[in-house]
Structure 1
Amino acid sequence: MILLTGFEPFDGETENPSWAAARSAAGLLQSEGLDVRAVELPCVFGASAAVLEEALERLRPELVLCAGQAGGRARISLERVAINCDDARIPDNAGNRPVDEPVVRGGPAAYFSSLPVKAALAALTAERIPAEVSQSAGTYVCNHVFYALMHALRLRPGTRGGFVHVPYADTQLPAGSSAPSMPARQMAAALAVVVRAALATTTDLKFAAGATH
């Protein structure tokens, strides 16, 4: 069983491409005979983790891929590490704005994704989908969910999970905008590629995909 998640719109937006991509990717994978569910998460500290944890308990997936929007990025970002820090530059959808607070009090400083990020990068590149390995999922609700996911999965041996950021959808941007974007169909295809790569890979590939800054 595979669980995909995306977020509701936030910060005044009317859409969030991560949810559209997760929902569409679930349909693509279901058409291939896979058991896949998509769940929309609130863009709220605490509540997002609670909805995710309820879905984990109810669905008991073997693979979890969470997605969020990273406006300004031009590529699919395969997140490598989640950190135990909430530090909100803007309020969430409930008006919360934690600063320098732990996601899980007493939890470890960070968790690594248990998805094969390098194999996924190779698969995305082969499909000519712009992608990268990212070293930071930020400190907003996306990182909050990523950390909460990996913290929950420590008690679920055999279940793998991770997080992917997607760019703006091209339909979100006003005419003439220079912000990078990606068609919604390509984002959905990208999430499906990541899932297929994870299902096919037990030991990740090893090649340089790091960052100098």
Structure 2
Amino acid sequence: MKIKHWMSPNPITVSEDTQVTAAHKIMAENRVRRLPVVDGEGRLKGLITLRNIIAASPSAAEALSRHEMNALMAKLKVGHIMVKNPETVSPEDSVMDVVRDGHVRGIGAFPVVEDGKLVGIVTETEIFRAMLHIFGAHQGNSIVVIENVDLENSLGEVSKIAALVEEIGVPVEAVFSLRQRRGVGHRVYLRAQAPDPAPVAARLAKAGYKVAK
């Protein structure tokens, strides 16, 4: 599946000259935590996040009056605090590639750019919906997660996992893995045709795998 089928097209944007206070208000009104920053021709210039705004806001420890704080924030523009040259993806990129990139790099959102111009944005929300579709969560299948799987030094490990599950008469519909950001190895996600994941988890645990609870 490609990102273009899951991204939010034509997202709300701001310019580098937009006041930070205005950007904050736009986020609050639209219940979003980030806004792409574009120029007059729709080319991506950066990304401003709620975290950027909070970090740039004066703290109570600075002992400024409300008037001074408002005056300071009124001068602050999006271009001053935005993330410049953010990581982007193409509409033609696969969902799985974007999931892996986001996981490895710790990125929660990607502007979607085509021919140098912003055409959409994909965030954790869109990725979550796509993954639910991939894993058939709406179909009543079971999802089992296995941790600390060594896929680099053990050839055929995924096939071995699938075979163990099918030994108990449960068909495996999909398997994918992500490198763990903490610890070692990979986290393997398995979708099985079973309404109850307990037998699958028990079989894998018996074989020595660490099944996430």
Q: TM-score over 0.5 for the alignment? A: no
Say which structure is richer in helix. 2
* TM-score category, normalised to shorter length: under 0.3
Say which structure is richer in strand. 2
TM-score normalised over the length of structure 2:
0.26
> Higher relative contact order at CA 8 Å, sep ≥6: structure 1 or structure 2?
1
